[in-house]
C-alpha cells in the first residue's frame, strides 16, 4: 500500500490544528461575551431619617452593592431623571416627581460602584416635594432595572424599588437648625461631589426663615453660590435681603453679580 504523501499529512495536521484553534477562539469569544455581560448590582433604598420636623429636609439614601470583579458607574441622569418617586401625603393626595428644566449648575447624579464594594448616595426629596403638612407620607421609589443603551457601563439592579414611610412632626426650631448645620458640614467637608450637591439641594430647598444664616455660609462654597442666592431670593424675608446685600459687597465678582441681580429681581436697590 502506498504511503501517504508527506504533504497530505501536513495538510491533515493543519486542518486539525485549525479546527482546534477555531474551537479555542469560539470558547474565548464566548468567555469574553460572558465577561462583558451586565454587572449585577443590588440596591438598598431607605430614608436618612424616618422622622423629621416641619420644614426639615427629607433625604433619600440609596446604596448600590457590587459583588462582581468589575467596577461600574450608575448614572441616574440630570435631576435624577431616571429615579421614579411618587408621594402620597397624609390626606391621600398623590404627587409624582416632576421633571425640571436643567439649571446652570445641574450635574448628573453618578454612583461610582467599585468592584466588590458598595456606593452610597443621597437624594434630596424636598427638591420636588414640599412635605408641608404634619402626618405620615408614603413614598414609592423606583430605580431603572437596567442600564440604558447609551451608558458606557452595562448593569442590572436588583431590589430596585421600595415603599417608605416618612413621619413629619410639628416645626421644631432647634431640630431644623441642627439639620441645616449638618447639611452645611456635608457641603463643606464631603469628598463626594454627588453627596455635597445633594446636601446643597436639600439646604436650598428649606422654606423657613431659620435657614438664612446657613444659606449665607454655604454661599461661600464655590459651585453653590448661585443656588444659595436663588434660595435667599425665594425666601424674601428681611434677613434674606440683608444676606443678599452683604453678598453684593463680596470680594468675589461672581457672588457680587448674582446677588446684585437677585436684589434687582426683588425690587430692592442694590448698594453702590
| The pairing of beta strand 59-65 with beta strand 118-124 | antiparallel
Binned at pLDDT 50, 70 and 90, residue 108 comes out as low
Instruction: Report the pLDDT value the prediction gives residue 8, as an integer from 0 to 100.
Output: 39
Binned at pLDDT 50, 70 and 90, residue 191 comes out as confident
Please check the confidence at residue 85 and state whether its pLDDT lies above 90: yes
Instruction: Report the pLDDT value the prediction gives residue 37, as an integer from 0 to 100.
Output: 87
Binned at pLDDT 50, 70 and 90, residue 35 comes out as low
Say what percent of the chain tops pLDDT 90: 69
Which region, left, alpha or beta, applies to residue 115 given φ > 0 means left and ψ of -120 to 50 means alpha? beta
Q: Alpha carbon 22 to chain centroid distance?
A: 47
Pick from 246, 233, 196: which is nearest to 218 by CA?
196
Tell me the CA end-to-end span of the chain in Å, nearest whole number. 113
Instruction: Report the pLDDT value the prediction gives residue 19, as an integer from 0 to 100.
Output: 39
Mean pLDDT of the residues in the chain: 86
* Tens-digit pLDDT profile for residues 230-261: 999 999 999 999 999 999 999 999 999 999 99
pTM (predicted TM-score):
0.80
Name the more confident of 88 and 23. Answer: 88
Q: Which three cell numbers stand for residue 52?
A: 423629621
* Tens-digit pLDDT profile for residues 198-231: 999 999 999 999 999 999 999 999 889 999 999 9
Q: Which three cell numbers stand for residue 260?
A: 446684585
Please check the confidence at residue 61 and state whether its pLDDT lies above 60: yes
Binned at pLDDT 50, 70 and 90, residue 193 comes out as confident
Under 8 Å between Cβ of 73 and 108: no
Binned at pLDDT 50, 70 and 90, residue 264 comes out as very high
SS3 60: strand
Half-sphere exposure in the Cβ direction for 155 (13 Å, CA): 31
| The pairing of beta strand 108-113 with beta strand 72-78 | antiparallel
Pick from 113, 168, 160, 109: which is nearest to 136 by CA?
168
Angle, helices 173-189/193-204, rounded to nearest 10 degrees: 150
Instruction: Report the pLDDT value the prediction gives residue 99, as an integer from 0 to 100.
Output: 76
Amino acid at each position: 500500500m502506498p504511503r501517504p504523501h508527506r504533504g497530505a499529512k501536513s495538510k491533515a495536521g493543519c486542518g486539525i490544528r485549525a479546527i482546534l484553534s477555531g474551537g479555542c477562539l469560539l470558547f474565548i469569544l464566548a468567555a469574553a461575551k460572558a465577561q462583558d455581560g451586565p454587572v449585577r448590582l443590588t440596591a438598598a433604598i431607605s430614608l436618612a431619617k424616618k422622622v423629621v420636623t416641619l420644614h426639615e429636609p427629607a433625604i433619600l439614601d440609596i446604596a448600590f452593592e457590587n459583588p462582581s470583579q468589575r467596577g461600574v458607574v450608575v448614572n441616574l441622569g440630570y435631576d435624577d431623571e431616571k429615579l421614579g418617586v411618587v408621594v402620597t401625603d397624609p390626606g391621600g393626595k398623590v404627587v409624582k416627581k416632576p421633571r425640571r428644566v436643567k439649571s446652570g449648575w445641574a450635574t448628573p447624579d453618578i454612583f461610582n460602584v467599585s468592584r466588590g464594594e458598595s456606593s452610597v448616595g443621597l437624594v434630596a426629596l424636598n427638591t420636588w416635594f414640599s412635605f408641608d403638612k404634619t402626618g405620615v407620607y408614603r413614598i414609592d421609589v423606583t430605580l431603572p432595572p437596567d442600564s440604558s443603551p447609551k451608558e458606557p457601563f452595562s448593569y442590572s439592579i436588583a431590589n430596585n424599588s421600595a415603599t417608605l414611610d416618612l413621619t413629619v412632626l410639628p416645626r421644631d426650631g432647634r431640630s431644623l437648625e441642627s439639620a441645616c448645620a449638618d447639611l452645611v458640614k456635608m457641603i463643606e467637608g464631603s469628598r463626594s461631589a454627588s453627596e455635597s450637591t445633594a446636601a446643597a439641594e436639600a439646604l436650598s430647598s428649606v422654606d423657613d426663615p431659620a435657614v438664612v444664616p446657613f444659606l449665607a455660609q454655604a454661599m461661600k462654597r464655590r459651585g453653590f453660590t448661585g443656588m444659595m442666592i436663588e434660595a435667599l431670593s425665594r425666601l424674601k424675608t428681611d434677613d434674606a435681603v440683608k444676606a443678599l446685600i452683604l453678598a453684593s459687597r463680596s470680594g468675589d465678582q461672581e457672588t457680587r453679580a448674582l446677588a446684585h441681580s437677585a436684589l434687582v429681581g426683588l425690587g430692592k436697590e442694590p448698594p453702590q
